[in-house]
A and B are shown apart, each in its own frame.
Chain A
Amino acid sequence: MNLSVVKPKKRNSLSRQDTRTAWLFIAPSLIIILGVALWPILSTFFLSFFNAPSGLNQPRIFNWGRNYIDLLADPAFWQTISRTAYFTIVSVVLELLAGLGIAQLIHSRPLGWKFLRFSLIIPWAVPTIVSGAMWRWIYSGDFGALNGLLMQLGLIKHYIPFLTKPELAMNLVILADFWHVVPLVALILQAALAGIPVELDEAAEVDGANAWQRFWNIRLPMLRGAILVALIIRTVEAFRVFDIVYIITSGGPASSTITISYLTYLTTFPYGKLGAGAALSFLISIFTLTLAIIYIRFLYRPEENQ
């Protein structure tokens, strides 16, 4: 028998065919995304090395990374980063916990679970601008529903001007964003839960595991992939939060809700410093990329998901 004649031809060409088909499917959207996004990305990166005031025929002076140095040396920049970090950490932790809870609830198929899953879409479907305006009215210190509720429950004697308190304002914006975004996390996790074979759970129950042990040892590890997805999506989005801040507080009171994206907006548009704004955008990208890499390092286990 001449084994060298036996070539594993079929397996090679099949996987090559799979890869080629995969590329063919991705190609159209990849081309459009690259076309629309690539030029602005490169152009912005280039711009971040210039002193570039907005306007027609304004001189653009190359300044050797001065924009980056000035930003990294500015204490206001780091204060903004720490505010953004606070927003991100609190948001993501709350959203994961609540999302997991809601996913479990739906998964356990209580009475009306279909309605629950359907109604979950509504906060997610409302445009952020609309939900921001709605929450601003809810928090209003003159006419707000939150004040009305607390008053009726007898918890407060006078209406509280929530949005004028720097300590509270950030947390209230987090709450508004949480309401808007938790459905996404819940649905991602619920879909993953539905994919866990029910026999595992039943077998564990038979072996005497209680609900918490089943959750901790079976469900959670099998949800690792979905949690990773939700974590990355939500961390990147929370770090870059802009529109809900713009609508509810416009960065106030006393700049307590100015996040890094809001600072980038202020630098670029009202202040007209395009170079510094471009540098800020890239710094944000570097921060979020770092976070994503950290997550993948710690959580991505490809062999477990097969």
Chain B
Amino acid sequence: MHSIKKSVFLMVALVTILSVVGCAPAAAPKGPVTIHVLTMDQAGLKPADIDQIARDFEAANPDIKVVMEYVGYDYVHDKITTGMASTPPAYDAAMVDVIWPDEFIKKGYLLDVSDRVTQDMKDGIFPAAWNGVTRNGKIYGMPWLMDVKYFMYNKDMLEKAGFTAPPKTWEEMLDQAKVIKEKGLAEFPVTWSWNQKEGVVCDYTALLFGNGGAFLDKDGKPVFNDAKGVEALDWMKKTIDDGLTNPNAVSSDEMAVEADFLAGKSAFAVNWLFQYADSLDPTKSQVANQVAFAPMPVFKVGADAGITGSSVDGSSSFAVMATTPNPDAVWKFLTYLASNEVQMKYSASMLPIWMEDYKGAKLDTLKAATPSNPVTVPAFMAQFPYANERPTVPYYNEASAALQMAIQEVLTGAKPAQQALDEAAAKWVELAKTQ
């Protein structure tokens, strides 16, 4: 009697456990298609803008519902990889940073949209934007944001220090910074995003190429640990030791750089485009109308070698996830999001990727669209051609992590630059072998 009850109990328990394990969401009902889109909440358009675009799209396409999700840039990559682990995927489309396509294509996350891209799109959008989403002749997403790091400075501080023009070389910037510091205008005239995240590699990219260096040679072997790479890193450390770079840079991200610069605590700040629009916003900035762009400086050595400009490409695209059940609806939304009409409408936060907007009458319209455009459009046209790429390899995240650690070890004084970079280069070689 007791043993029968026990076995019945065990059966019930087992069935319940298995059904809990096998739980899956109910199949989606027929009707309007819902697509989930993931993007970042910084740089590019503001969430409120994208929400409005989604609502406008839904009004024109009543059979498609768009659910947007916004997270900080540092979290997007993980959300994509986790989201793709389920069927159907948690997101039908996602923003893809310029450093991720190789990894995501290898993992099979991105849908090949080569035959969905029209000739108009191919001809109308900047080739650099297409390069970001094309691999082996196949296109894996819709370009959306072309961004590059800009060199911004505080005009008023420079004037008060007695300078009429922004610096052309990094060495000149330090000379100006010394004077600004001596005159008490800023305790730490320069601020950067050198924390142990992708931001520090972005800054290092601009400095490395501006010194005539590079990440990889033509055979794909790491060369950032050569004399030019070591010089650039030593220079970074020296600016902290000399009290010209804010020591907090070692734990700062781009938002912290903006907070510092817009509070009037620094004279020079390297950051993405969003910092300029925010500088004009009185609720965020105490330096409205004091901020100006200048071409990103290079090192004297780089200038002598013929390097006329250097920055880092921070563009992003939107991709259709390979396992989405609604690729057509998703593609429709993405092409709408990246369309010329929509991009022109929101050009204050994000400049368009369509070449025609930078020519003739359209250029005038673009410049007149918002108070910041007369300044940002020429800055973009001047700086973007110098956007350097970080290595397009599928193991980029781990490679970047090794470089981030090397740079941090040098900046905190734990290791000399040559040793740290050599170790990072060795790691890159090891990673390349396992591919």
Contact = CB atoms under 8 A, between A and B. Distances in A.
Contacts of A272: 81, 103, 107, 397
Given A27-B13, A56-B109, A272-B397, A254 B248 contact: no
B307 interface: no
A253 B412 CA distance: 8
Interface in B387-410: 395, 397-398, 401, 405, 408-409
14 contacts: A31-B13, A141-B251, A142-B246, A161-B247, A163-B250, A163-B251, A164-B247, A164-B250, A250-B196, A250-B197, A252-B250, A252-B408, A270-B398, A272-B103
Interface of B is mostly: helix
B165 interface: no
Contacts of B378: none
Interface string B1-35: 00000000100010011111100000000000000
Interface in A242-296: 249-255, 266, 269-272
A254 B194 CA distance: 11
Q: How large is the interface on B (under 10, 10 to 19, 20 to 34, 35 or more residues)?
A: 35 or more
A55 interface: yes
A254 B409 CA distance: 5
Given A56-B322, A57-B108, A254-B196, A36 B248 contact: no
Nearest to B82: A269
Given A39-B21, A271-B398, 12 more contacts: A31-B17, A34-B17, A38-B17, A56-B323, A161-B246, A164-B249, A249-B251, A250-B74, A253-B412, A255-B408, A255-B409, A272-B107
Contact of B107 (A56, A255, A270): A56
Interface of B: 9, 13, 16-21, 74, 77-78, 81-82, 84-85, 103, 106-109, 187, 195-197, 246-251, 256, 259-260, 263, 265, 322-323, 395, 397-398, 401, 405, 408-409, 411-412, 414
Contacts of B408: 252-255
Interface string A4-35: 00000000000000000000000100011011
Contact of B250 (A32, A38, A161, A250): A161
A53 interface: yes
B37 to A, nearest CB: 19
A254 B251 contact: no
A143 B20 contact: no
Contacts of B250: 161, 163-164, 252-253
A31 B251 contact: no
A20 B138 CA distance: 65
Contact of B20 (A31, A164, A266): A31
Contacts of A142: 246, 248, 256, 259-260, 263, 265
A2 interface: no
Nearest to B240: A164
Contacts of B21: 35-36, 38-39
